[in-house]
Structure 1
Amino acid sequence: MRKIKEVLRLKWEVGLSARQIARSLSVSHSTVLDLLRRFERSEITWPLPEIDDSALEAALYPGNPETRVERPLPDMAYIHRELARKGVTLQLLWWEYKQNQPDGLQYSQFCQRYREWREKLDVVLRQQHRAGEQMQVDFVGGSLPIHDRETGEVLQAQIFVAVLPASNYTFAKVCPSQSLRSWIAAHCDALEFFGGAPEVIVPDNPKAGVTRACRYEPDLNPTYADMASHYGAAVIPARPRKPKDKAKVENAVLVVERWILAALRNRTFFSLREADLAVREAVEKLNNRPFQKLEGTRRSLYETLDKPALKPLPPKRYEYAEWRKAKVNMDYHVEVDRNYYSVPYQLVGETLDIRFTDGLIEALLRGKLVACHPRATGRGRYVTQIQHMPAAHRRHREWTPSRLVGWAESVGPQTVKLVTTILEQKPHPEQGYRSCLGIMQLGKKYGLERLEAASARAVISGAYSYSSMKSILASNLDQAPLPAPPDEQATPVHQNLRGPEYYAQGGQ
């Protein structure tokens, strides 16, 4: 339009010829002549009256009204929604459009009209997301204060947000912290809320989920990777300092901050459950709120797009598990939280991956399960499976307190008293097994008769140990007369001892 007005100005004000005007404006001579003829045929005069550019263009280039055909336009909102479905293309949608409208737009105009319509949407909505492909997650920057009625302390609770990008269907949950346990529990709740699992989970790079952030090969927390594997999803963290990689959840975080946290700013919460219910109610309203530039709501789009495309959830919810590495000790046990669990003795010296839940301990070697135990409570407990022990240790394990006492009864009453006392003095009977087995070997070496005599001397002396028995037998003390018990020994006669008569007379 600017050149049309300039042509008219140079002709009627400056008085240039058509060729001069063409050279001045870098257009063809025929174009200038055609424009001047159209102007002369029109009812417009120079100088130009009050007329806008579109009216001037319509007056000079009216086209051919008799041949102009108004073609039916497609439903652009429907096309935009259908493109979010997996495998749907513009060419397929154009073919379906032409089946219903044979006189409709051709493919190039169809695509051009859709692109022009899409440019009018928000920048975020222009992104193409496949239904059921992603779940983007993040924590809200702000916190929600939770007041303790008894102590008055204030807990700054965190808000976890998850969104399905194709429909913008949003989930939010109040968490006590941004710890790994809260992070995993929030993911499980989100997947159950959505009723299915996506192909990809896109988080930021929080310490709970990513142990080492990297643009190309980030290291995931093993628990996070284990949780994703349980639901058949892959975790692809956003690149550091690239929020557009998860633009949908970034927008959802802003919505939660402005429409939920801000709306709840004047309420006082006294429990996490109370705050979580308030947030869930607000999110429900958000998901049912109509779009401003599209038809429908987040919920309606979710039910038509994302819900059918999500993978079904496994029958059992993911059980929170932590991972660590542990080296197998010489006693073929690994240590987890000050308790000890057996593994096959052939793995002594190996470093294993330990996966432990609230009730189970699993040991894996290069991804293969090698041992599984119920988790022990307390500290210093040993959990041992017999099949993990070498043959010699299994034979030792077969001995029990009752069996050892039964053997002692076959020797004699003094040996029974010795063995019973050794087992009772130890914090755990198994700790006395080795001493008792050593005493049995002494019986094989010196004979059961001498062993019984040595046991009698040890009992009188209070020497309840294998080393004392060995010393007695090696020194032949078992063949010497036994000393009198301490309470039966006579008081020695000495001139300095006053005797009971002295004290009976009051010390006279």
Structure 2
Amino acid sequence: MSKLRKVIKLYCQGQSKLQISATTSISRNTVKKYIRVFSGLKTTWEQINQLPDKELDELFCKEPEAIVDDRLLPLHDFLKQQEKRLRQRGVTLLRLWNEYHAQYPEGFSRTSFYHQYNLWKKRVHPSMHMAHKPGDKMFVDYTGEKLQVVDADSGEVKTMEVFVAILGASQLTYVEAVESQRVEDFIGCCENAVRYFGGAPNAIVPDNLKSAVIRSNRYEPKLNENFEAFADYYGMAVLPARAYKPKDKALVEGAVKITYIRIFASLPEKLSTSLEELNARIRALLEVHNRTAFKGRSYSRQEQFDEMERAALQPYQKNVLNVGPHQ
């Protein structure tokens, strides 16, 4: 007996979905799907059992026919034009629906608009589940892989860490090679990122790096005093990413992956002869990355930053802290 038949038979015998799932080793969601289809057929177990396996599979496993709705194309065009506005302060989905309804009075109702928006967002931004407000957060981390420089005189090859920072709303990215993850190098990189962005966000989110967080705690993490002083100096709160909460650091992890593709893989095979030369090469590739249009979009990170996030940042202090290397 196929597992599908067994699910229907056990259901007709009065067993619960949980019991059926355990007995057949089929996930509860699949069990629920089979039972939902069976209930909708308004038939009996005896009639179902008479069908050959092929017909049974077609009946229970076929994909639902796509429903074509003439209102979808105008809605998607509207959302594509307005998506960046939702990241601006004070702009809500209700306000967006009011504008949509005024423009398309025969369009979707408010509830359907919300539902279609969520479907559209998942399709367009499948990995972005968090909405970030302009000027709100800067996420920072180091790449797992490292880069190398070779001393022109001695031929000694040195390994360099690679720091990555990304702004939440615009996704403008900063990348820098540095000698270590020591606190002075880490703070220096964070400050260089602030200077590159031209301003400081409201908060900085490190991934529990030892240079930033001495002891991780869900409610009161103990921060490195020098790093905390640096953040205070620029008016930034420190919000360490929570352990076992992948969404807290998804954005910077995505930036690290893109760094591998667009910077690491694009560097010349010949090693740089100094850290300064390596960072000059990185900066050139970084500019290309930030000015390349998002996939499926007509605008880039730089354009999005200029339009919606630059003005939301806090002006950074002109006097420079002597906490680390500055390129």
- TM-score, normalised to structure 2, is 0.74
Q: 2:288 aligns with which of 285, 289, 305?
A: 285
- Alignment of structure 1 residues 387-426 onto 2, 5 Å: none
SS of residue matched to 2:207: coil
- Alignment of structure 1 residues 28-107 onto 2, 5 Å: 54=65, 72-73=74-75, 75-107=78-110
Q: What one-letter code is carried by the residue in structure 1 that aligns with 2:235?
A: G
* Equivalence for 1:176: 179
Kindly state the Cα deviation for residue 261 of structure 1 after the two structures are TM-superposed. 1.1
Deviation string 1:28-60 (CA, Å, 9 cap, x unpaired) is xxxxxxxxxxxxxxxxxxxxxxxx9759x99xx
Deviation string 1:136-187 (CA, Å, 9 cap, x unpaired) is 0001111111111222222211111000121211110111111111111111
SS of residue matched to 1:161: strand
CA distance in 2, matches of 1:201, 1:237: 8
* Equivalence for 2:121: 118
Contact (CA 8 Å) 1:243, 1:250: kept in 2 or not? no
Contact (CA 8 Å) 1:138, 1:249: kept in 2 or not? yes
Q: 1:261 aligns with which of 264, 274, 278?
A: 264
Calculate the aligned-residue CA RMSD, in Å. 2.7
- The structure number with the bigger radius of gyration is 1
| Alignment gaps of 5+ in structure 1 | 1-22, 28-51, 59-67, 322-508
After TM superposition, the structure 1 stretch with the greater mean CA deviation from structure 2, 111-120 or 189-198, is 111-120
* Equivalence for 1:157: 160
Q: What one-letter code is carried by the residue in structure 2 that aligns with 1:251?
A: G
Kindly state the Cα deviation for residue 215 of structure 1 after the two structures are TM-superposed. 3.0
CA distance in 1, matches of 2:71, 2:278: 56
With over 3 angstroms needed to count, the CA separation of the structure-2 counterparts of 1:297 and 1:180, relative to structure 1, is same
Kindly state the Cα deviation for residue 297 of structure 1 after the two structures are TM-superposed. 1.0
Contact (CA 8 Å) 1:131, 1:305: kept in 2 or not? yes
* Equivalence for 1:229: 232
With over 3 angstroms needed to count, the CA separation of the structure-2 counterparts of 1:128 and 1:152, relative to structure 1, is same
CA distance in 2, matches of 1:128, 1:167: 11
* Equivalence for 1:320: 323
SS of residue matched to 2:146: strand
Contact (CA 8 Å) 2:71, 2:108: kept in 1 or not? no
With over 3 angstroms needed to count, the CA separation of the structure-2 counterparts of 1:266 and 1:69, relative to structure 1, is closer
* Equivalence for 2:277: 274
**2:212 pairs with 1:209:** yes
Deviation string 1:220-276 (CA, Å, 9 cap, x unpaired) is 111100000011110111123444311111010111122211222612110111000
After TM superposition, the structure 1 stretch with the greater mean CA deviation from structure 2, 224-233 or 288-297, is 288-297
- TM-score, normalised to structure 1, is 0.49
With over 3 angstroms needed to count, the CA separation of the structure-2 counterparts of 1:278 and 1:105, relative to structure 1, is same
SS of residue matched to 1:142: coil
CA distance in 1, matches of 2:244, 2:157: 32
Contact (CA 8 Å) 1:162, 1:171: kept in 2 or not? yes
Q: 2:192 aligns with which of 164, 184, 189?
A: 189
CA distance in 2, matches of 1:162, 1:131: 15
**2:146 pairs with 1:130:** no
After TM superposition, the structure 1 stretch with the greater mean CA deviation from structure 2, 121-130 or 292-301, is 121-130
Contact (CA 8 Å) 2:78, 2:100: kept in 1 or not? no
CA distance in 2, matches of 1:26, 1:257: 55
CA distance in 1, matches of 2:308, 2:125: 20
Contact (CA 8 Å) 2:185, 2:323: kept in 1 or not? no
Q: What one-letter code is carried by the residue in structure 2 that aligns with 1:90?
A: L
CA distance in 2, matches of 1:160, 1:132: 20
Deviation string 1:438-492 (CA, Å, 9 cap, x unpaired) is xxxxxxxxxxxxxxxxxxxxxxxxxxxxxxxxxxxxxxxxxxxxxxxxxxxxxxx
CA distance in 2, matches of 1:217, 1:189: 27
